[in-house]
């Protein structure tokens, strides 16, 4: 008896079963991490949605933008191993006169700053300095702004900067008296740091409520009793320096404090070739794989802005104009990617309704957000983590891919 047909039948049945399981596993699946089949284009005549992926990047690069916002609600103090450093300045307006605080009655003068948060090393020491010459907000430069010798160190009211909200440092009562006697000698104060691996954010004059504004408290003797008066800072700002952008061609950079932005562009002709004529793009996800992150304080919010002028990888213009944000995304420690939903923009690119100059990815709070994300570029040797568009489209009734 010839058993060959039976073996062939068993093999065919097993193959059919495997194919059925594979198709079933790919049907009706839809989550936030990937685009999977809801119809199998090889075996089904439905209209979709069908998956497609565009991994051919036309261009990408990192650019660094120069900006400074003096009206920020925070002051930055300290330095990081990356080369980023910041030095805050503040000054006080009218000081209490001799009638309010008699010259011989002063017991102490204390400068107080309020901490918003910090990252980097667990221990960071700030020092108090007198500014030796005039300065003004909006004009501070880290390399040239006036600096004076250290006068004292700030002491936290609790054991660790991790948990403190208040830092205090003594100011010489004699120096306060000199400021009051000759107002032209009062150029205010600045802070320094003995650490190169911690950055502290302090509340500023712009902070509401005002109780968190940098202040100077004078304790003095009045009628055989002890009294005090507190003067709030009337102006502040910080000088800062940024390191040069990393030059690794396998990475793109996004960083608030460094003002680093990522530019990326997909070719419109490649999109049109990928999506059948007459099809409707239902979903388009720009996926950027994060390969390294630092400086995170909770969740970072980012946005993808449509670029409105041309650019090249070797000479991206730092003042490239953009329109409003096309999509937003958030990133938290441990996440492996950034995902931007841009289906509407992709449909307009394909239709030619919007000129395709690509997207600019940046932090939504660049002036205060110092998180730094590195994402894989189109030159990364691992093809699977390069920037890509994950797409899903449907066909007109009766259409086939």
Pick the CATH number of 25-65+244-394 from 2.60.120, 1.10.10, 3.40.50, 1.10.15: 2.60.120
Mean pLDDT across 149-165 = 70
Determine which of 34-43, 70-79, 338-347 has the lowest per-residue pLDDT on average. 34-43
Q: Is the pLDDT of residue 170 over 90?
A: yes
Cα radius of gyration (the chain)? 30
The 3-class secondary structure across the chain, one letter per residue, is CCCHHHHHHHHHHHHHHHHHHHHHHCCCCCCCCCCCCCCCCCCCCCCCCEEEEECCEEEEEEEECCCCCCCCCEEEEEECCCCCEEEEEEEECCCCCCCCCCHHHEEEEEEEEEEEEEEECCCCCEEEEECCCCCCCCCCCCCCCCCCCEEEECEECCCCCCCCCEEEEEECHHHHHHHHHCHHHCCCEEEEECCCCEEEEEECCCCCCHHHCCEEEEEEEECCEEEEEEEEEEEEEEEEECCCCCCCCCEEEEECCCCEEEEEEECHHHHHHHCCCCCEEEEEEEEEEEEEEECCCCCEEEEEEEECCCCCCCCCCCCCCEEEEEEEEEECCCCCEEEEECHHHHHHHHHCCCCCCCEEEEECCCCCCCCEEEEECCCCCCHHHCCEEEEEEECCCCCCC
Q: Is the pLDDT of residue 35 over 50?
A: no
Structure-token pair, residue 10: 């068993």
pLDDT category at 19 given cuts 50, 70, 90 is: very low
Determine which of 10-19, 189-198, 308-317, 371-380 has the lowest per-residue pLDDT on average. 10-19
The gap from C-alpha 385 to its chain's centroid, in whole angstroms, comes to 21
Q: What is the pLDDT of residue 211?
A: 80
Q: Is the pLDDT of residue 30 over 80?
A: no
pLDDT digits (tens, 9 = 90+) for 55-110: 999 998 888 776 544 446 788 898 877 677 889 999 998 889 888 898 889 999 99
d(Cα 96, Cα 217) in Å, to the nearest integer? 11
What number of other Cβ atoms are within 10 A of residue 54's Cβ?
20
Q: Of the candidates 272, 290, 270, which has an alpha carbon nearest to the alpha carbon of residue 281?
A: 272
The angle subtended at Cα 156 by Cα 122 and Cα 107, nearest 5°, is 160
Task: Please state the domain extents for the chain.
Answer: 25-65+244-394, 85-241
Contact 378, 57 (CB under 8 A): yes
């Amino acid at each position: 008896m010839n058993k060959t047909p039976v073996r062939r039948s068993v093999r065919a049945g097993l193959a059919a079963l495997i194919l059925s399981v594979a198709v079933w596993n790919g049907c009706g699946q839809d989550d936030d991490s990937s685009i999977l089949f809801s119809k199998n284009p090889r075996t089904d005549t439905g209209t979709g949605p069908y998956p497609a992926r565009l991994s051919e990047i036309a261009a990408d690069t990192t650019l660094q933008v120069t900006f400074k916002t003096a009206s920020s609600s925070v002051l930055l103090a300290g330095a990081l191993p990356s080369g980023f450093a910041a030095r805050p300045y503040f000054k006080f307006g009218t000081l209490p006169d001799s009638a309010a605080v008699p010259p011989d009655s002063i017991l102490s003068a204390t400068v107080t700053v309020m901490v918003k948060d910090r990252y980097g090393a667990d221990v960071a020491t700030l020092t108090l300095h007198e500014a030796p010459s005039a300065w003004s907000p909006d004009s501070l430069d880290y390399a040239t702004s006036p600096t004076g010798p250290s006068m004292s160190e700030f002491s936290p009211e609790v054991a660790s900067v991790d948990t403190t909200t208040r830092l205090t440092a003594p100011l010489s009562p004699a120096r306060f008296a000199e400021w009051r006697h000759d107002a032209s000698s009062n150029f205010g104060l600045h802070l320094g740091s003995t650490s190169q691996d911690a950055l502290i954010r302090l509340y500023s004059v712009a902070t509401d409520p005002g109780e968190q504004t940098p202040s100077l408290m004078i304790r003095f003797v009045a009628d055989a009793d002890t009294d005090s008066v507190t003067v709030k800072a009337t102006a502040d700002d910080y000088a800062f320096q940024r390191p040069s952008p990393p030059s690794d061609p396998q990475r793109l950079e996004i960083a608030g404090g460094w003002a680093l932005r990522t530019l990326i562009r997909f070719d419109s002709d490649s999109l049109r070739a990928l999506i059948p004529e007459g099809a409707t793009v239902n979903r388009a996800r720009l996926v950027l794989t994060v390969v390294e992150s630092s400086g995170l304080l909770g969740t970072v919010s980012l946005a993808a802005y449509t670029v409105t002028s041309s650019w090249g990888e070797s000479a991206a213009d730092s003042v490239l104009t953009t329109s409003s944000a096309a999509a937003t995304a958030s990133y938290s420690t441990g996440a492996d990617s950034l995902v931007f939903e841009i289906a509407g923009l992709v449909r307009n690119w394909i239709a030619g309704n919007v000129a395709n100059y690509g997207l600019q990815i940046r932090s939504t709070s660049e002036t205060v957000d110092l998180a730094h994300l590195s994402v894989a570029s189109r030159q990364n040797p691992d093809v699977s983590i390069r920037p890509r568009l994950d797409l899903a489209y449907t066909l007109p009734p009766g259409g086939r891919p």
